[in-house]
Amino acid sequence: MTDTKLHDLIIIGGGPAGIAGGVYAARKQLSTVLLAQELSGQSIVSEGIENWIGIIKISGADLAKAMRAHLEAYKRDIVDVREGERVTSLVREGEHFRVTNTSGAAFTARAVLVASGASRRKLDIPGAAHFEHKGVTYCASCDGPLYAGADVAVIGGGNAGFETAAQLLAYAKSVTLVHRSSEFRADPVTVSQLLKHPNMRALKNTEPVEVRGDQFVSGLVVKNKETGETTELPVTGVFVEIGVLPNSDFAKDLLALDTTGHVKVDPRTQRASVEGVWAAGDCTDELYHQNNIAAGDAVKAIEDLYHWVATRRSR
Ligand SMILES: Cc1cc2nc3c(=O)[nH]c(=O)nc-3n(C[C@H](O)[C@H](O)[C@H](O)COP(=O)(O)OP(=O)(O)OC[C@H]3O[C@@H](n4cnc5c(N)ncnc54)[C@H](O)[C@@H]3O)c2cc1C
């Protein structure tokens, strides 16, 4: 299906950045199509978000629901929300841009806001892909309760790793956190609090080398980087928290990306390397990635692109 309408704007993504972009586009009467695989953000799995400004504490699921309702309330017939497909390509077509998704549908617009966020970095060692959902997991709040009374490992020594360990300590018999460097990246307060827990231990300078098991995970082989010694931890759950990668594959032939694939932007305006394209949130090369920042980026982008689009409408 090809949508023959020339829109003012295509927004790619329906997380905090995409939804903020959608709300602002509606209020500025920019005819928009918003294409999102799912209307929600990465923090949907969080049990409690305590820094979304204006709300003291909210679960990730409730925040996603509230953002969806906000967009629904203002989109009228100005923002056409299409959920459920992945965008596969973004190309320039003369003065305009053409975006295609997995169902083969194509959309054209004067301007594009890329707000496609990021996805979890996968553990790339033998056994990790084979045992995904059979003991290897990327979501403590979704799967943690399944490991009540079990010995589990967490891979990653950043805030996400320690947050995951904290959640798991409520259910698991023991939690072993595996971190490849000599210093944890998580906030020192969180680290010292958690390491006091009797069921928690952390291995520094240690990397995972293999996930083992039969039908389900029965062990994680780790290697001490200083001594070269390998040990099998007898765990039945492996929770992976080793960062995220930007969802920017569809834009790689058009836009300048950094070495990890983040869309390069001018932080004053959110303009990407090609005139007519803006980017916001976790898909960008901005230093800090948070819900408030993603939404703010998109607001900045819409303010900037509004005038740009208005001058092109009359051409
Ligand atoms: C477990 C966890 C807890 C967190 N807790 C907090 C917290 O407490 N406070 C905080 O401020 N931040 C938190 N964060 C970070 C925060 O979630 C992100 O900074 C924020 O979600 C970024 O928003 P975004 O809109 O840029 O991207 P995302 O939230 O990643 O949204 C991306 C959107 O794009 C869509 N998409 C992706 N690829 C495509 C494609 N090809 N085609 C179409 N659609 C696509 C997705 O379906 C989604 O709608 C947390 C993150 C995680 C993982």
Q: Are 141 and 47 in contact (CB under 8 A)?
A: yes
pLDDT of residue 268: 97
- Pocket residue to mutate for ligand 1, from 247, 252, 255, 270, most atoms within 8 A of Cβ: 247
Residue 127 lies inside a defined structural domain of this protein:
no
What local confidence, expressed as pLDDT, does residue 229 receive? 97
Report residue 309's pLDDT band, with 50, 70 and 90 as the boundaries.
very high
Counting the structural domains of the chain, the total is 2
Give me ligand 1 centre to Cα 282, in Å: 7
Residues 302 and 208 in one domain: no
pLDDT value, residue 44: 85
Q: What confidence tier does 1 reach under pLDDT thresholds 50, 70, 90?
A: low
Among 233, 241, 13, CA closest to 143: 241
Domain closes at, from 180, 209, 240: 240
Domain residue limits at 85: 2-120+244-313
Q: Check the CA dihedral 41-272-107-11 and report its sign.
A: positive
Q: What is the pTM of this model?
A: 0.86
Q: Residue of the nearest CA to atom 30 in ligand 1?
A: 117
- Beta partners for 277? 112
Cite the DSSP H helix spans in the chain: 16-27, 60-75, 140-143, 159-169, 188-195, 291-313
- Domain end call among 181, 208, 240: 240
Residue 6 Cα to ligand 1 midpoint, Å, equals 28
CA gap 70, 182 in Å, rounded: 44
Q: Is 250 in the pocket of ligand 1 (CB under 6 A)?
A: yes
Lowest mean pLDDT among 43-57, 119-133, 289-303: 43-57
- If asked whether residues 147 and 62 sit together in one domain, one would say no
| pLDDT at 47 > cutoff 80 | no
User: Do 190 and 234 share a domain, yes or no?
Assistant: yes
pLDDT value at residue 50 = 84
Judge if the beta carbon of residue 141 lies within 6 A of ligand 1.
no
In a domain, 126, yes or no: no
Supply the CATH number for residue 232's domain: 3.50.50.60
Is there a single domain that holds both residue 248 and residue 105? yes
Q: How far is the CA of 231 from the centre of ligand 1 (A)?
A: 35
Residue that finishes a domain, picked among 177, 210, 240 = 240
Per-residue pLDDT tens digits for 278-306: 999 999 999 888 999 999 999 999 999 99
Q: How far is the CA of 40 from the centre of ligand 1 (A)?
A: 7
